[in-house]
């Protein structure tokens, strides 16, 4: 799908199947665009607004059949006003998402841009692309969608420039990478093994012109990742460790280096500490951190960001087999610490521990990990908010500011040192779980043991990575949560580095 910019001062003359207009004011009748459209429809629009009790509140939509009064076949009003202060970027993405969702019923849409600022245009393009997303791989016959969006237009008041069109193209590309992450998360485990995930990463990196090294089981053994290998012991499918690298064309000692680490559990049965059947059903999504990591690295390459970006994926199943690791086992780790296993269903922190040690050896400016790590985090924050843990206040501010711009929800939780005692083991350097109280915090404290003195942020995406129902801008199923914020974070890192250099 190509998203184009077009100048059209008279929105009533835009020829399209669906014309989308955002309403940002409580006083709908005084909105200039609504007033123009109401005049063109001879008062029908305001009557529909009244009859349908459309207030313009964020998330409300109103679809109206144009009946020849304007050049578009249908008109869609999208409510955008909110009592909460939001960035223009976040509001614009919201508008684009709702337009994209409605566009699933049409071959062409046109959306009136609130402004021609770059962040607005890019966010709209991201929104349209992600809003139009549907996972249809396993639909056939009448279940297979018969309509798909072929043409999207963003209507602006001034003549669009080549630079503005590139901004739109960038937004569409980032949106496509969010959708790639969603596809991976939605793919069932029988069609996405650790080897499959690694191969897809390699293929996508090749297309993007960046390097990707894949380590099989033998190579992982030589690399020295015993915790990752322990989790894999019960599976008939080999693990993989993936190292992707994007480097800007020009680099020097001042170029920031950011390493992203993604948890890649392609299926989690809980191991010998078996999950209940209902909890196991959606465990294909336990590799969401890996999918997000891939999306961010590819986006950095596409946008040609002046930041060196590494993406690490630790991929395995957590299954039951004759060699499965057990509660009570004591295992070495890559950084030399011995770990006493308490619960085999807390496997994510095991594979991340070795991956974070490896990440620290790359001497990064910042380390970031994404993981569907704990149910405790979802209990604390709900299904739509990511728990953010960080050992550096400046880094935390950068990430939280990026999330405010994108509209994705993050909340900082403490690395409460007084809970560290829960990880003390009588027979090893540390236990890998604590009590059920503060479980998300003790999981983060365990990971911190493998970070060293690196500036690091841990993102527990257990809630927003996969949803049972559509919410806000996020679809049902895999959401790709974290890709857009990760990209904005990298852009802020690049901007900060540039200012420091000056």
H/E segment holding residue 240: strand 240-246
pLDDT of residue 1: 76
Cα atoms in the Cβ-side hemisphere of radius 13 Å centred on 67:
11
pLDDT tens per residue across span 326-372: 999 999 999 999 999 999 999 999 999 999 999 999 999 999 999 99
3 state SS for 68-125: CCCCCCEEEEEECECCCCCCHHHHHHHHHHHHHHHHCCCCEEEEECCCCCHHHHHHHH
Q: How confident is the model at residue 27 (pLDDT cuts 50, 70, 90)?
A: confident
pLDDT exceeds 90 at position 496: no
Q: Look up residue 413 and give its DSSP letter.
A: -
Bridge partners, 472 (sequence order): none
Bridge partners, 467 (sequence order): 477
Of the candidate CATH numbers 3.90.1150.10, 3.30.70.20, 3.40.630.10, 3.60.10.10, the domain formed by 175-501 belongs to: 3.40.630.10
**What percent of the chain is predicted at pLDDT more than 90?**
82
Angle, helix 44-51 to helix 32-40, in steps of 10 degrees: 110
> Taking residues 411-417, what's their average pLDDT?
97
Q: What residues contact residue 315 under an 8 Å CB cut-off, 6+ apart?
A: 194, 197, 198, 239, 240, 241, 242, 264, 265, 266, 287, 290
pLDDT exceeds 80 at position 389: yes
* Residue 360 CA, distance from chain mean position: 23
Q: How confident is the model at residue 85 (pLDDT cuts 50, 70, 90)?
A: confident
* Phi-psi domain of 199 (left: phi exceeds 0; alpha: psi -120 through 50; beta: other): alpha
pLDDT exceeds 70 at position 72: yes
pLDDT of residue 502: 65
| Distance between CA atoms of residues 149 and 100, nearest Å | 8
Task: Report whether 45 contacts 31 (CB < 8 A).
Answer: no
Which of 138-142, 358-362, 395-399 has the least mean pLDDT?
138-142
CA quadruple 480, 456, 261, 428: dihedral sign: negative
Q: Which residue of the set 93, 334, 349, 454 is catalytic? A: 349
pLDDT of residue 104: 78
Please indicate whether residue 275 is annotated as part of the active site.
yes
pLDDT of residue 29: 85
Instruction: Write down the CATH number for the domain with range 2-156.
Output: 3.40.220.10
Residue 47 tokens read as: 């009557």
Which of 90-104, 199-213, 421-435 has the least mean pLDDT?
90-104
Q: Where are the domains of the chain?
A: 2-156, 175-501
pLDDT of residue 248: 95
pLDDT of residue 252: 86
* Residue 160 CA, distance from chain mean position: 30
Task: Report whether 325 contacts 350 (CB < 8 A).
Answer: no
This prediction has a pTM of 0.96
pLDDT of residue 318: 98
| Distance between CA atoms of residues 167 and 302, nearest Å | 12
pLDDT of residue 25: 81
pLDDT exceeds 80 at position 3: yes
pLDDT of residue 59: 84
Across the chain, what does the average pLDDT equal? 94
pLDDT exceeds 90 at position 215: yes
Q: Name the burial class of residue 350, with classes exposed (0-12), middle (13-18) and buried (19+) by CB atoms within 10 angstroms of its CB.
A: buried
pLDDT exceeds 80 at position 150: no
Cα dihedral value 433, 434, 436, 437, nearest 10: -140
Q: How confident is the model at residue 81 (pLDDT cuts 50, 70, 90)?
A: confident
Q: Which residue of the set 105, 117, 275, 404 is catalytic? A: 275
pLDDT exceeds 90 at position 82: no
Largest Cα separation within the chain, whole Å, is 81
Q: How confident is the model at residue 397 (pLDDT cuts 50, 70, 90)?
A: very high
Q: How confident is the model at residue 78 (pLDDT cuts 50, 70, 90)?
A: very high
pLDDT tens per residue across span 45-71: 999 999 999 998 988 999 998 888 889
pLDDT of residue 175: 97
pLDDT of residue 500: 77
pLDDT of residue 412: 98
* Residue 419 CA, distance from chain mean position: 30
> Taking residues 421-450, what's their average pLDDT?
97
Which of 40-44, 203-207, 408-412 has the least mean pLDDT?
40-44
Q: How confident is the model at residue 148 (pLDDT cuts 50, 70, 90)?
A: confident
Residue 209: count other Cβ atoms within 10 Å of its Cβ: 9
Q: Pairing between strand 211-215 and 108-112?
A: unpaired
pLDDT exceeds 80 at position 313: yes
């Amino acid at each position: 799908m190509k998203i184009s910019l077009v100048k059209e001062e008279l929105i009533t003359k835009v020829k399209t199947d669906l014309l989308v207009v955002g309403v940002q004011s409580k006083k709908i009748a005084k909105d200039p665009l609504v007033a123009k459209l109401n005049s063109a429809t001879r008062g029908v629009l305001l009557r529909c607004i009244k009859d349908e009790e459309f207030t313009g509140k964020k998330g409300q939509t109103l679809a109206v059949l144009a009946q020849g009064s304007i050049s578009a076949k249908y008109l869609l009003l999208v409510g955008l006003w909110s009592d909460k202060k939001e960035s223009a970027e976040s509001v614009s993405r919201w508008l684009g998402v709702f337009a994209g969702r409605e566009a699933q019923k049409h071959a062409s849409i046109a959306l009136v841009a609130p402004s021609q600022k770059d962040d607005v245009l890019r966010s709209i393009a991201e929104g349209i692309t992600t809003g139009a997303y549907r996972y249809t791989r396993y639909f056939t016959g009448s279940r297979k969608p018969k309509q798909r969006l072929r043409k999207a237009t963003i209507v602006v008041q001034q003549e669009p420039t080549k630079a503005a069109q590139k901004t739109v193209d960038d937004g569409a590309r980032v949106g496509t990478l969010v959708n790639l992450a969603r596809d991976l998360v939605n793919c069932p485990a029988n069609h996405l093994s650790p080897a499959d995930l690694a191969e897809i990463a390699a293929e996508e990196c090749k297309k993007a012109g960046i390097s990707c090294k894949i380590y099989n089981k033998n190579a992982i053994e030589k690399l020295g990742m015993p915790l990752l290998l322990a989790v894999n012991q019960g599976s008939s499918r080999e693990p993989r460790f993936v190292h992707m690298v994007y480097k800007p064309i020009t680099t020097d000692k001042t170029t920031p280096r950011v390493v992203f680490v993604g948890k890649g559990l392609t299926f989690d049965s809980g191991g010998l500490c078996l999950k209940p059947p209902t909890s196991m059903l959606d465990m294909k999504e336990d590799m969401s951190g890996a999918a997000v990591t891939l999306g961010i690295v590819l986006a950095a390459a596409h946008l040609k960001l002046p930041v060196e970006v590494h993406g690490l994926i630790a991929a395995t199943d957590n299954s039951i087999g004759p060699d499965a690791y057990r509660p009570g086992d004591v295992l070495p780790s890559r950084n030399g610490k011995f770990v006493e296993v308490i619960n085999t269903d807390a496997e994510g922190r095991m594979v991340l521990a070795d991956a974070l040690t490896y990440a620290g050896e790359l001497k990064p400016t910042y380390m970031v990990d994404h993981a569907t790590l704990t149910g405790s985090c979802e209990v604390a924050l709900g299904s739509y908010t990511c728990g953010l843990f960080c050992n550096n206040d400046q880094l935390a501010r950068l990430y939280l500011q990026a999330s405010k711009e994108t509209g994705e929800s993050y909340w900082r939780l403490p690395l409460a040192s007084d809970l560290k005692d829960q990880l003390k083991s009588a027979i090893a350097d540390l236990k890998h779980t604590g009590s059920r109280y503060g479980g998300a915090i003790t999981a983060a404290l365990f990971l911190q043991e493998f970070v060293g003195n690196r500036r690091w942020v841990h993102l527990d995406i257990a809630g927003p990575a996969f949803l049972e129902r559509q919410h806000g801008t996020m679809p049902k199923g895999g959401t790709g949560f974290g890709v857009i914020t990760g990209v904005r974070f990298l852009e802020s890192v690049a901007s900060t580095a540039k200012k420091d250099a000056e």
